[in-house]
Amino acid sequence: MTEIVSVRKAEDYEKGLSKAIDKVLSDLGGLKRFVKSGDKVALKPNLLVFSSPSKAIVTHPIFTFEVFKKIIEIGGEPFVIDSPGSGIPFTKNSLKSLYRLTGYWEIFKDYTDYLNTDTSKQTVEIENGLILKRVDILKPLLDADFIINLPKMKTHTLTFLSGAVKNMYGAVPGMEKTKYHSRFRNVHDFSKVLIDVWNVTKPGLTLMDGIVSLEGDGPAMRGIPRKTQVILGSKDPLSMDLAICKLIGLAYNDIPYLKVAIENNLSDGTYNIVGETPAINDFILPRTYHGKISIDPVSLYNYFVFPIFSKFLVEKPKVMKQKCIRCGVCVRSCPEKAITIDKVSAIIDYNKCIKCYCCHEQCPEGAIDLKRINL
């Protein structure tokens, strides 16, 4: 069945935000279609790293709070839950720091008890997974009656898009995320992990914060905030990610996890956009993205020659010594234990590095750049 993806304009996080969310919900049949009075509703934003909302890395707290209030208005019992990236220890105290540093504590000041700090997990057996047989998932998320996925519209150096499906990877607790990078080293297999995790959690509704998005080398400190002024909503995260591809001018086949989903008949690639379809021109993709065909010689070179030499030409993480504060976050986030800290900065052992870009994603100083290895 072709799912609706509602796209509505939202100027910023103040003017008319509530009304814009209402329009999206109305396009989807209204919030009461999804949430019943008394339902325990998990709101799953993207809280990847310690970072202020102005950097457009996390789902903006005001966006999440607007949805939170709407659930209360119809008698639901909402709570906010996420597990941050692997560079941040998954403990009650660091979750509190996460809420403080991402602005959630301030915006939810009268409701801080609704910001989850329970770090318990539950192993879920997966019968017909694409690649996983079982996976650990945040227990409070599994205990909820209904999950609302609240992703941020972002690029990603590994999967190119960090959209609605990818946001549910935060359901995997803390540092357990890194082990899947180690076990499934190519992006095709890792995409299957993303699909399996999404299928286990099955959010019933996705509302995306695309008011200020992140372009360039997302999904964290090396990305660039970009005013895109949209909110998206859909029952189906796959349809939403397909619609985003259309909005930013990407072919869905270029997004590894969308390709995997379509190959496995989880989507037929169709969706139905309602509302508005603003053109988001010249959206900057990560420099790891080489798939787009255009007529310029560089792109042709990338498309035809790159696959042959990709082993040599793939971007590697590179520490910018002058920016490194030797905090050790990258050491914790590296699944291959390829990073050590010397007297000056972090050092990467390229013999061990699998180019998963977790360190690039987690470095709080944006001190890890990506550089092409030249022949």
Q: What residues pair up with 121 in beta bridges, in sequence order?
A: 138
How many Å separate Cα 228 from the centre of its chain? 17
Residue 168 binds to ligand SF4 (criterion: CB under 6 A)? no
Residue 354 binds to ligand SF4 (criterion: CB under 6 A)? yes
Residue 40 binds to ligand SF4 (criterion: CB under 6 A)? no
Residue 158 binds to ligand SF4 (criterion: CB under 6 A)? no
Residue 327 binds to ligand SF4 (criterion: CB under 6 A)? yes
How many other CB atoms sit within 10 Å of the CB of residue 10?
A: 23
What minimum distance in Å lies between the beta carbon of 329 and ligand SF4?
A: 4
What minimum distance in Å lies between the beta carbon of 361 and ligand SF4?
A: 8
What minimum distance in Å lies between the beta carbon of 240 and ligand SF4?
A: 28
Residue 326 binds to ligand SF4 (criterion: CB under 6 A)? yes
The region of 56-64, 116-124, 137-145, 360-368 touching ligand SF4 under the rule CB under 6 A is 360-368
Q: Which of 70, 154, 235, 355 binds ligand SF4 (CB under 6 A)?
A: 355
How many other CB atoms sit within 10 Å of the CB of residue 1?
A: 9
Residue 93 burial (CB < 10 Å; 0-12/13-18/19+)? exposed
Interface residues for ligand SF4 in 183-202 (CB under 6 A)?
A: none
Interface residues for ligand SF4 in 293-322 (CB under 6 A)?
A: 317, 319
b/e string for 20-49 if b means 16 or more Cβ within 10 A? bbbbbbebbeebeebbeeebebbbbbbbbb
The region of 151-159, 188-196, 283-291, 323-331 touching ligand SF4 under the rule CB under 6 A is 323-331
Total site size for ligand SF4, rule CB under 6 A: 29
Q: Which of 115, 172, 367, 370 binds ligand SF4 (CB under 6 A)?
A: 367
Q: Which two tokens stand for residue 92?
A: 């009650």
Q: Which of 107, 141, 329, 370 binds ligand SF4 (CB under 6 A)?
A: 329
Residue 255 binds to ligand SF4 (criterion: CB under 6 A)? no
Residue 305 burial (CB < 10 Å; 0-12/13-18/19+)? exposed
* Cis peptide leading into residue 219 (ω within 30°): yes
How many other CB atoms sit within 10 Å of the CB of residue 182?
A: 14
Residue 330 binds to ligand SF4 (criterion: CB under 6 A)? yes
How many Å separate Cα 133 from the centre of its chain? 23
The region of 39-47, 52-60, 148-156, 354-362 touching ligand SF4 under the rule CB under 6 A is 354-362
What minimum distance in Å lies between the beta carbon of 351 and ligand SF4?
A: 10
Integer Cα distance of 115 and 121 in angstroms: 17
Picking from 244, 275, 247, 242, the residue whose alpha carbon sits closest to that of residue 261 is 242
Which residue's entry shows tokens 């234990």? 337
Residue 353 binds to ligand SF4 (criterion: CB under 6 A)? yes
Q: Which residues contact 360 (CB under 8 A, 6 or more apart)?
A: 157, 217, 220, 222, 317, 368, 369, 370
**C-beta of 293 vs 344, nearer to ligand SF4:** 344
Residue ranges binding ligand SF4 (CB under 6 A): 317, 319, 324-330, 333-334, 336, 338-339, 341, 345-346, 348, 353-359, 363, 365, 367-368
